[in-house]
Amino acid sequence: MNYEKSMKRCIKLAKRGLGWVSPNPLVGCVIYDKNGNLISEGFHEKYGESHAERNALLKLKQNEAIGGTLIVNLEPCSHYGHTPPCADLIIERGIKTVVIGMRDVNPIVSGNGIKKLIDAGVEVVENVLNLECEKLNEVFIKNMIEHKTFVAIKTATTLDGKIAAKNGSSKWITGESSREEVKKIRNSYDAIMTTSSTIIADNPTMEHKIKIILDRNLRTDFSSNIYKSGRIIVFHDETLASPKELTIDFVKTPIKDEKLDIKFILNKLYELKIMSVLIEAGGHFNGSMLEYADKIYHFIAPKILGDNEGISCFDYRAISDINDSLKFKLDDIEKYGNDILLTYYPIVKKI
């Protein structure tokens, strides 16, 4: 049996839960019978509902999995939450071998699910495609270990790094394929975040169930497209009164260095159980958020603006030495129509 191939299938299944399972992790599961035949698979489909192992096992008859192998990208749970422990059901169904991609970082589970299986005589194989499994649940890992919201930035630029011409025109830099991919990326995050400057300049819709808006002086027009759907949370200056006639969550925010306090905002998002946020804003805010960012999605179109006065994607500071540049690790390159998507991570984070 090819454990790595099966784990890749688990990861693919788990991704079907993107946008549905937060704050839970993404989990997929496949099951083979004692003769090595694939007999069932499942994934965690929605927060509060059955986990991947339970979904896969309950498709089978009571004795169908006896002596079989269960492969899952995350350690099976060992405690009662919204559902009973998956480890107990695995033992009950007579599974002989459990193959795991990574241990659960949730301290309630970590190692306990594995111990329960081993104590019951189940063979456990660990760390199959461990790095891939950790990447799949990078949001969950940060939430559990750091108790912070995962922060990503999305930008779309020309080859010379511009997001708009000097007159502000920016539609459309990238093609339709890239814009469709942006929708998928957006839907995989709990919320999107933007600024009053972006709303005033572009009047975007940014379809999403939760929208975070930074508007220190409450200068946006509340009839703008972005306010027409979803839950809206506006962070603004603590000295201003909140308009009571609007069905918007207004959060009075401290000021730091003459700007809204970003640490306060990110802490508040975690407190509100918003486990991940995707920033879609202008170059100045994008740049200022790099020190908080966990991940960057950078679409590049084969266009050259060739204008020094054009607006850059990370236009927030001036340095005199190349050695003072922020450094990143390129993770992936994908092609969407004529555009490419670079996905990269900070090498060293300051925050």
Q: Which of 4-8, 137-141, 247-251, 269-273 has the lowest mean pLDDT?
A: 247-251
Contact 295, 138 (CB under 8 A): yes
Which of the following is catalytic: 41, 49, 53, 123?
53
At 28-78, the pLDDT tens digits run: 999 999 999 999 999 999 999 999 999 999 999 999 999 999 999 999 998
Question: Given strand 191-195, what is the order of strands in its sheet?
Answer: 249-253, 231-237, 210-214, 191-195, 276-279, 150-157, 295-300, 339-346, 328-336
pLDDT score for 170: 66
- The H or E element that residue 156 is part of is strand 150-157
Q: How much is the pLDDT for 240?
A: 60
Range of lowest pLDDT (29-33, 199-203, 295-299): 199-203
Residue-level pLDDT at 351: 45
Of 348 and 141, more confident: 141
Residue 319 has a pLDDT of: 81
Nearest CA to 277 out of 137, 153, 156, 145 is that of 153
Separation CA 202–CA 198 (nearest Å): 6
Ordered by where they begin, the domains of the chain are: 3-144 (3.40.140.10), 148-346 (3.40.430.10)
Does the annotation count 53 as an active-site position?
A: yes
Do residues 339 and 177 touch, judged by C-beta distance below 8 A?
yes
Q: Tell me if the bond preceding 172 is cis, omega within 30° of 0.
A: yes
If pLDDT is split at 50, 70 and 90, which confidence band does 91 have? very high
pLDDT of residue 14: 98
Higher pLDDT, 241 or 45: 45
* Predicted local confidence at residue 57, as pLDDT: 97
pLDDT value of residue 169: 67
pLDDT score, position 317: 80
Between CA 218 and CA 248 the distance in angstroms is 12
Nearest Cα to Cα of residue 204 among 281, 319, 97, 300:
281
Q: What confidence score (pLDDT) does residue 252 get?
A: 93
Distance CA 343, CA 341 (A): 6
pLDDT above 70 coverage of the chain, percent = 95
Give the pTM: 0.92
The band of 311, judged by pLDDT with boundaries at 50, 70 and 90, is: confident
Contact 39, 60 (CB under 8 A): yes
SS3 content of the chain, % helix, strand, coil (to 5): 25, 25, 45
- Give the residue-averaged pLDDT of 289-295: 95
Which amino acid type is present at position 192? I
Helix (H) or strand (E) holding 211: strand 210-214
Within 8 A by CB and 6+ apart from 17, the residues are 26, 27, 43, 44, 45, 46
Across 129-133, 199-203, 205-209, 237-241, the highest mean pLDDT is recorded for 129-133
Give the type of residue at 305.
L
Query: For 68-96, what is the mean pLDDT?
Result: 92
Task: Round the average pLDDT of the chain to a whole number and report it.
Answer: 92
Q: Which residues of 191-226 are buried (b: 16+ CB within 10 A; e: fewer)?
A: bbbbbbbbbeebebebebebbbbbbbebebeeebeb
pLDDT at residue 243 tops 60: no
Mean pLDDT of 294-315: 88
48 by DSSP, 3-state: which? coil
Region 253-257: mean pLDDT is: 92
Q: What is the pLDDT of residue 245?
A: 56
